[in-house]
Amino acid sequence: MEERMIEFLQAYGGAAYFLSLACNVAISVLGVVPSTFLTAANLTVFGFWPGFWVSFAGEALGAVVSFVLYRKGLRRWSQTTWLSHPKVKPLLHASGKEAFGLIFALRLLPFVPSGVVTFVAAIGRTSFPVFAAASSLGKLPALWMEAYAVDQVIRVTWQGKLILAVLSGAMFLFIWRKIRKKMPG
């Protein structure tokens, strides 16, 4: 996927910046597609710092567009069962400084799905300005860490990538087994 995105962006020259932003917005609106492949493509095509800033602008814009769309179109889902989960309620009912702090903190955590945070904030009490500021500021350090890690993986040799893939697979299996043991039945 990353290679295709690199080819796509390289084919459009100066328009690649805008196409990358549009792709990031689409990924954000979908809410379930990770944007790491696009970050990697941006770093490869534009270089580290320009690629980082294009990725940041795309993710920030994507979060804001998603928030507006979710707020307008998905508010009726605010009564679904999973929203009564104790870990979801704080963000759902937060506003002002509390909402800012929660969104900022959740954006810093790479394992918390961005689409879920955006969705819950959009159907909750969070105002648009609070969401936009907290989401964007929280994405800065998180995206920098992601971009740095992706950049290091891009630079490593195929042997290093193989070792990383084997270690990742082993970690996945270890975690999967732990989760399976805890599941009832």
Question: Is residue 78 pLDDT above 60, yes or no?
Answer: no
- What's residue 160's pLDDT? 77
Q: Mean pLDDT, the chain, as a whole number?
A: 88
For tokens 């580290």, what's the residue? 48
Q: What's the whole-model pTM score?
A: 0.79
**Separation of alpha carbons 65 and 57, rounded Å:** 12
**Separation of alpha carbons 51 and 147, rounded Å:** 9
Least confident of 73-82, 107-116, 140-149, 173-182: 73-82
Question: Is residue 15 pLDDT above 70, yes or no?
Answer: yes
Question: Is residue 57 pLDDT above 90, yes or no?
Answer: yes
Per residue in 161-184, pLDDT (tens digit) is 788 789 889 998 988 888 888 777
- Confidence grade of residue 41 (pLDDT, cut at 50, 70, 90): very high
* DSSP string of the chain, one letter each residue: -HHHHHHHHHHTGGGHHHHHHHHHHHHHHH-SS--HHHHHHHHHHH-HHHHHHHHHHHHHHHHHHHHHHHHHHSGGGGG-GGGGSTTTHHHHH--HHHHHHHHHHHHH-TTS-HHHHHHHHHHTT--HHHHHHHHHHHHHHHHHHHHHHHHHHHHS-HHHHHHHHHHHHHHHHHHHHHHHHHS--
- What's residue 34's pLDDT? 86
Q: Output 175 or 83, whichever has higher pLDDT.
A: 175
Work out the average pLDDT over 14-34. 93
